[in-house]
Structure 1
Amino acid sequence: MSYQVLARKWRPRTFHELVGQTHVQRALVNALDQGRLHHAYLFTGTRGVGKTTLARILAKCLNCTAGGEGDEGVTSTPCGQCDSCRAIDEGRFVDLIEVDAASRTKVEDTRELLDNVQYAPTQGRYKVYLIDEVHMLSTSSFNALLKTLEEPPPHVKFLLATTDPHRLPPTVLSRCLQFTLKHLPPERVVEHLTQVLSEEGVAFEKSALWLLGKAAEGSMRDAMSLTDQAIAFGQGVVHHADVAAMLGTLDHRHVLALIEALAEVDVARLLDEVARLAEQGPDFAAVLDDVTTILHRLAVAQMVPDAVDNGHGDRETVLALAGRFTAEDVQLYYQIGIQGRGDMAHAPDLRSALEMTLMRMLAFRPQGVPRPPATPLPLQPERPATDAASDAQVASAPPPETAPPEASPQASPPWGADPVSPAETPSAPPDPKPEPAPEPAPDAAPEPDSDPASEPMVETASAPVEPEPAAADSAPAAPERLDHAGWLDGFAALGLGGLTRSLAANCQLKHDDGATLELRLDPEQAAMQAEIHETRIARALAAQGLERRVTFTSEPLDPTLETPRQRDGRLAQARHARALDTLNRDPHVQQLKETFGATFMDNGVTPTRNTD
């Protein structure tokens, strides 16, 4: 027996075998069960989605004899065993007249066809006219068909199929029940191919089926034909590498590797991945298109995770990658990719254009690349000049007594403390005492042997130094547990920028156990949350002496606490109010008001820092 291709062997023969067209199946089954039959049906859709197959199943439903004789014998579940069903499946049913409108476009052909409409069916219950590619008929042919299509004899049904319904005259469309068949998503194609190959006993790799499902572009017939070709290409086995070579498509895993290199901000790996791609001789413009497509999917994954498509079977991978980028980086990379695609025509070669576009993404990201280690920024202002003078005097004392103050790094207040608090600057009170020490020196000039002026200065300078080591030992560089007040006070000095700063500014400190710092994030900002923000905040804290793992918890904010953004807004309003009050009390301003009736535009007043 000759080999039968998969597309014909696995062609659906009943409605329940139909794949992916539930909306059409439901409408037709209900109409058949209720006896609400129309005289003309129009099936539209792209190639290979089941238009002709659906028409043949409907023809079997109308003529199956298992349900009985007469109109009451019409059924939505044809038996497939009676003479009518077998004849339709084998293409020899005399009352099913199939016409290819692409080869019979003339009006004479249409008139010849319609001459036999008046005669009763020979074998079945209905005479069914199945006109494929009906949009190819000429205007004269449509005019000839129009009257019969509107009022056919009761024993005639018209089933029309087309890939281009816009080319049909409105007068024809209005006389038909139109059903639009959908593209089949890759997930549905892969699911069906898995079932078919399992039944056929053909070994396969699931990733290879995703390549076939994507290449089919929504057509199940194309997917079946490509699967036949893949089986022959792989000598009875469907392997990923064989299918990729057969289709001449880029291995999707290489594109994902480029995205991972972008996530790691690793230029060396990025160029290495491009070099590996070059060994396959790809279309570098198509590579950039695939990169921007994944960037679009990453943006969707960050905003609406449930809406990420699974066209390559890599949905989980895309969701994981989305957490390694900020939303601003994804948007920037996508824009650079689109711009780079247009610039490829002017590049010396496509590979260098791809490499420059990818490197431009990293070079123009907000943080730059490569970025040197961040220098810790002091969260407190430098020590006052009086402290510096005191240190200079202590330095002149003998080394054993002055060594502890020189080595102590804890002279400045801890992270998040109030910089103006006198309690945390113990060295400040003794500073004024050494200043009058030089004054007795002239009085002691007649007694050079005793030199009483030098000894008091050393004693005065060293007296306040003795308790300093103990005070330094008891004052840590950073608090063991950070509270919300400390979070607010030290936020500005973290040096965060971009979207990370925006997210952190909308957070309240929920808990700090010394190892993990948990931030309560405003739910309205939760869509922008990403792992990279936690990493950046943790790095900024570490630069200030707080080694913490940072986590976000999306929940309603505590109304009794402020976020850094709320506090900044409140302080800004207070500064603005003070600035207005200062201006209103200015005598020159008052004179202008009295003389010219001038008034203030409050929104035009911008306070400066010294208004505080």
Structure 2
Amino acid sequence: MAYQVLARKWRPQNFHTMVGQEHVLRALVHALDEQRLHHAYLFAGTRGVGKTTIARILARCLNCEEGVSSTPCGVCSSCVEITEGRFVDLIEVDAASRTKVEDTRELLDNVQYAPTRGRFKVYLIDEVHMLSTSSFNALLKTLEEPPPHVKFLLATTDPQKLPITVLSRCLQFNLKNMPAEQVAGHLRHVLTSETIAFAEASLWQLGRAAKGSMRDALSLTDQAIAFCGGDLTESAVNQMLGSIDQGKVVEIVSQLQQGNASELLKLIGELGEQGQDFTGALEDLLSLLHQMAICQVLPEAPVSVQFDRAKVKELAQQTSPADVQLFYQMGIMARKDLELAPDLQAGFEMTLLRMLAFRPQQHAGQMKITEPQTQTQTHTQTHTQTQAQAQAQMPESIIAAEAVVESAAESLVEQAKQVKQVDESAAQGMPVTEMASVPDAPHEEPSVPEAVLVQETAPVQDSPPWEEEPMQAQQPVFNHAHEEQQGEPEPQLEQAAAAEPASAPESESESESESESESESESESEPAVAEGLMPAKSGRDWTLADLTQENWVKVFNDLNLSGMTHGIASNMVFAQRQGTKLQFTLQQGQSSMLNDTHQGRMREALEAMFGCNLELTINIGKTQIETPFANRQRRETEHQQQAIIALENDANVASLTTAFNGQLDTNSVLPVNPIEIET
């Protein structure tokens, strides 16, 4: 009798002998036992995961002579014929070779006829996604409402290519790739039944090489049996697959842990001479690091048969968790960059050298042995030495600038402490005259850098335009602290404060009214400030005689316009006036937005300003005179240039650029004060 390959010989004949896909088998077993059968099933998954096998077992369950159940007998004529592939009512179709619509129509011509031998006529269509669009359309109606004696079993490796109309008519089951442990366990059962000697590590290598496919694993096992002469050893299987010896992977991690770069390069050279796949070597390295991380968290966790358990635990104890995580992360990132290297060996070498270069200098064992106090002292000494070396390499200008910044910071901290002490004394009820006797508050002015003194003495209104509002808000705090450090307040102020208690309510009411009026004025000016313009302050009564080409920009600023109408009017210029007839010229690029509505709003705004009925005409053309919009842009540009020039001429900015060899980024300069509207 001819030899039968393992993939066909060990094909499961019932659901209970299948390996994996429990989520699919459970649903099918319950449906068969409870007689809840659908008319169309779709099995999707990659190659070799059991799509066709499940479909044939389901056909056997449906047509077993002992009845519909999840456990076919396997000995009746129907079961035997289905197993041998000669059952007349099981029509297997390869959709990859029969894609035309004529083939589908020919297939469906016999659907209405009852089965010849079995209970159901089963159509098993493999690689159904290869059918043409016309074939799917011809299949839709029959697939949705087939005769009671017809069952459709569809199998595909790419369900995304199936029309949604087909998917909606089927029960879809997605088969998963099987893990290497499950594949290795089934191979162990097969080789034991075939009385073939094997090593556990060789089964693991075959399971990983199968990439989740049981058929690929059995085919590789057939090849390994022929290659090894009936005795599957780890070295022989590695040589056949071209995979790296796991002992080499363990040695690589050991040398990484020791930081021995010469031995690492020697090991990589040996792997290159053997023609090893460095992509697989990197994957094996990541698998070992993964096992080490698990052992560090759970020492009693099981270790895969790929590596020696004792060696993995030893490496996990010798390597710090930080190093393991660092090596693993670098290896993961190197996987996508490995193909970009000049050759795979060079990319693998750079990955290991990168792990050595970025590895923390302090060993994990030292971190555990070192006491906290000693560790802190060592860290302080190392930081001091590093800082001293860095200062020795700095230019003198940078060191001087840093000294100025540090002295300024110390002075500001000292002032804050003094202000806090004065506030605490006031809160405790200490008289004002006793504040000068506080021992920690000096009477003389503290030494403050020149830049800080300039900020304290300069008035707020004279500050340069680039000063931000938070810095200006902090100025009174420093000045207040400076004033309180001068000593006791003048007695005249105390007497005046004591002599005016009766007028306090009146003054408070006046101050409240003043603050309310100020807040109202501020709230009214907020919209204009938000738009980058100050509110109009002319307040004049315009007449038609005032409307000239030179005054149009000022008149426009007082018009009550908003939105798109305001934008259109800003691109117009005044042409001429004849009595109450006004003519304007609008730029050509803005003509598409002009309509009767906007023109009516402009006329109403002009009539409200001049107090008479007007006739408005707007012509389209080129404007020789500056429009309000162009005027606004020009003044904003000039305002921006003034801010840049003020920064470039500032002494503090010049000292900073000189000390740090810096350059002013003019694109980041924004004026603080908004431009004013022409009135």
- Structure 2-normalised TM-score? 0.53
Q: Which residue pairs with 1:196 in the alignment?
A: 190
Instruction: Judge conservation of contact 2:253–2:285 (CA < 8 Å) in 1.
Output: yes
- Within 1, Cα distance between the matches of 2:381 and 2:90? 72
Select 2:96's aligned residue among 97, 102, 117. Answer: 102
Secondary structure of the 2:239 match is helix
Aligned-residue offset at 1:492 = 2.3
Select 1:492's aligned residue among 367, 370, 376. Answer: 376
Q: Which residue pairs with 2:57 in the alignment?
A: 57
Residues 490 and 267 (structure 1), Cα distance of their counterparts in 2 relative to 1, 3 Å cut: closer
Aligned-residue offset at 1:348 = 6.9
Matched, 1:217 2:211: yes
Select 1:112's aligned residue among 83, 106, 118. Answer: 106
Residues 493 and 126 (structure 1), Cα distance of their counterparts in 2 relative to 1, 3 Å cut: same
Instruction: Judge conservation of contact 1:583–1:589 (CA < 8 Å) in 2.
Output: no
Q: Which residue pairs with 1:182 in the alignment?
A: 176
Q: Which residue pairs with 1:4 in the alignment?
A: 4
Q: Which residue pairs with 2:569 in the alignment?
A: none
- Within 2, Cα distance between the matches of 1:497 and 1:265? 25
After the TM superposition, which residues 370-389 of structure 1 pair with which residues of structure 2 at under 5 Å, given as runs? none
Matched, 1:584 2:383: no
CA offsets 1:455-511 (integer angstroms, 9 cap, x no match): xxxxxxxxxxxxxxxxxxxxxxxxxxxxxxxx776562364999xxxxxxxxxxxxx
Residues 161 and 313 (structure 1), Cα distance of their counterparts in 2 relative to 1, 3 Å cut: farther
Matched, 1:160 2:44: no
Aligned-residue offset at 1:335 = 5.0
Residues 96 and 365 (structure 1), Cα distance of their counterparts in 2 relative to 1, 3 Å cut: same
Matched, 1:364 2:339: no
- Within 2, Cα distance between the matches of 1:128 and 1:164? 22
Instruction: Judge conservation of contact 2:288–2:307 (CA < 8 Å) in 1.
Output: no
- Within 2, Cα distance between the matches of 1:362 and 1:313? 23
Please list every run of 5 or more consecutive structure 1 residues that lacks an aligned counterpart in the other structure.
67-72, 378-486, 499-576, 601-612
Instruction: Judge conservation of contact 2:418–2:441 (CA < 8 Å) in 1.
Output: no
Letter in structure 1 aligned against 2:49 = V
Letter in structure 2 aligned against 1:4 = Q
Aligned-residue offset at 1:251 = 2.2
Q: Which residue pairs with 1:275 in the alignment?
A: 269
Instruction: Judge conservation of contact 2:196–2:230 (CA < 8 Å) in 1.
Output: yes
Letter in structure 1 aligned against 2:53 = T
Residues 193 and 313 (structure 1), Cα distance of their counterparts in 2 relative to 1, 3 Å cut: farther
Aligned-residue offset at 1:244 = 1.4
Matched, 1:27 2:27: yes
Instruction: Judge conservation of contact 2:246–2:307 (CA < 8 Å) in 1.
Output: no
Secondary structure of the 1:103 match is coil
- Within 2, Cα distance between the matches of 1:43 and 1:249? 33
Letter in structure 2 aligned against 1:247 = L
Instruction: Judge conservation of contact 1:214–1:312 (CA < 8 Å) in 2.
Output: no
Letter in structure 2 aligned against 1:584 = K
Aligned-residue offset at 1:598 = 6.5
Residues 346 and 213 (structure 1), Cα distance of their counterparts in 2 relative to 1, 3 Å cut: closer
Q: Which residue pairs with 1:40 in the alignment?
A: 40
After the TM superposition, which residues 399-478 of structure 1 pair with which residues of structure 2 at under 5 Å, given as runs? none
Residues 27 and 109 (structure 1), Cα distance of their counterparts in 2 relative to 1, 3 Å cut: same
Instruction: Judge conservation of contact 2:286–2:328 (CA < 8 Å) in 1.
Output: yes
Aligned-residue offset at 1:316 = 7.1
- Within 1, Cα distance between the matches of 2:75 and 2:310? 46
- Within 2, Cα distance between the matches of 1:594 and 1:267? 57
Q: Which range moves more in the overlay, 153-162 or 320-329?
A: 320-329
- Within 1, Cα distance between the matches of 2:60 and 2:337? 57
- Within 2, Cα distance between the matches of 1:282 and 1:18? 35
- Within 2, Cα distance between the matches of 1:219 and 1:350? 27
Residues 345 and 8 (structure 1), Cα distance of their counterparts in 2 relative to 1, 3 Å cut: closer
Matched, 1:136 2:114: no
CA offsets 1:514-562 (integer angstroms, 9 cap, x no match): xxxxxxxxxxxxxxxxxxxxxxxxxxxxxxxxxxxxxxxxxxxxxxxxx
Letter in structure 2 aligned against 1:116 = N
Instruction: Judge conservation of contact 1:184–1:218 (CA < 8 Å) in 2.
Output: yes
CA offsets 1:209-246 (integer angstroms, 9 cap, x no match): 11111111111111111111111111222222221121
Residues 594 and 158 (structure 1), Cα distance of their counterparts in 2 relative to 1, 3 Å cut: closer
Higher relative CO (CA 8 A, sep ≥ 6), structure 1 or 2? 1
Q: Which residue pairs with 2:323 in the alignment?
A: 329
Q: Which range moves more in the overlay, 157-166 or 271-280?
A: 271-280
- Within 1, Cα distance between the matches of 2:159 and 2:124? 16
Q: Which residue pairs with 1:232 in the alignment?
A: 226
Residues 205 and 497 (structure 1), Cα distance of their counterparts in 2 relative to 1, 3 Å cut: farther
- Within 2, Cα distance between the matches of 1:213 and 1:108? 43
Letter in structure 1 aligned against 2:476 = F
Q: Which residue pairs with 1:291 in the alignment?
A: 285
- Within 2, Cα distance between the matches of 1:595 and 1:229? 85
Q: Which residue pairs with 1:77 in the alignment?
A: 71
Q: Which residue pairs with 1:410 in the alignment?
A: none
Residues 279 and 490 (structure 1), Cα distance of their counterparts in 2 relative to 1, 3 Å cut: closer
Residues 89 and 337 (structure 1), Cα distance of their counterparts in 2 relative to 1, 3 Å cut: closer
Residues 228 and 326 (structure 1), Cα distance of their counterparts in 2 relative to 1, 3 Å cut: same
Aligned-residue offset at 1:17 = 0.6
Aligned-residue offset at 1:10 = 0.7
Instruction: Judge conservation of contact 1:297–1:308 (CA < 8 Å) in 2.
Output: no
Residues 354 and 64 (structure 1), Cα distance of their counterparts in 2 relative to 1, 3 Å cut: closer
Q: Which residue pairs with 1:14 in the alignment?
A: 14
Secondary structure of the 2:318 match is coil
Residues 165 and 488 (structure 1), Cα distance of their counterparts in 2 relative to 1, 3 Å cut: closer
CA RMSD, Structure 1 to Structure 2 (Å):
3.8
Aligned-residue offset at 1:364 = 3.0
- Within 1, Cα distance between the matches of 2:32 and 2:414? 80
Q: Which range moves more in the overlay, 120-129 or 295-304?
A: 295-304
Secondary structure of the 1:128 match is strand
Secondary structure of the 1:179 match is strand
% identical equivalent positions = 58
Aligned-residue offset at 1:302 = 5.1
- Within 2, Cα distance between the matches of 1:131 and 1:90? 18
Letter in structure 1 aligned against 2:261 = V
Residues 205 and 128 (structure 1), Cα distance of their counterparts in 2 relative to 1, 3 Å cut: same
Instruction: Judge conservation of contact 1:99–1:131 (CA < 8 Å) in 2.
Output: yes
Q: Which residue pairs with 2:260 in the alignment?
A: 266
Residues 589 and 246 (structure 1), Cα distance of their counterparts in 2 relative to 1, 3 Å cut: farther
* Structure with greater Cα Rg: 2
- Within 2, Cα distance between the matches of 1:497 and 1:187? 51
Residues 582 and 155 (structure 1), Cα distance of their counterparts in 2 relative to 1, 3 Å cut: same
Q: Which residue pairs with 2:427 in the alignment?
A: none
- Within 1, Cα distance between the matches of 2:3 and 2:474? 104
Q: Which residue pairs with 1:596 in the alignment?
A: 476
Letter in structure 2 aligned against 1:82 = C
Letter in structure 1 aligned against 2:323 = D
Secondary structure of the 1:119 match is coil
- Within 2, Cα distance between the matches of 1:594 and 1:216? 70
Letter in structure 2 aligned against 1:75 = S
Q: Which residue pairs with 1:507 in the alignment?
A: none
Letter in structure 2 aligned against 1:102 = A
- Structure 1-normalised TM-score? 0.59
Aligned-residue offset at 1:266 = 2.8
Aligned-residue offset at 1:57 = 0.5
- Within 2, Cα distance between the matches of 1:13 and 1:94? 19
Letter in structure 2 aligned against 1:261 = Q
Aligned-residue offset at 1:310 = 4.0
Residues 259 and 44 (structure 1), Cα distance of their counterparts in 2 relative to 1, 3 Å cut: same
Residues 284 and 123 (structure 1), Cα distance of their counterparts in 2 relative to 1, 3 Å cut: closer
- Within 2, Cα distance between the matches of 1:140 and 1:126? 27
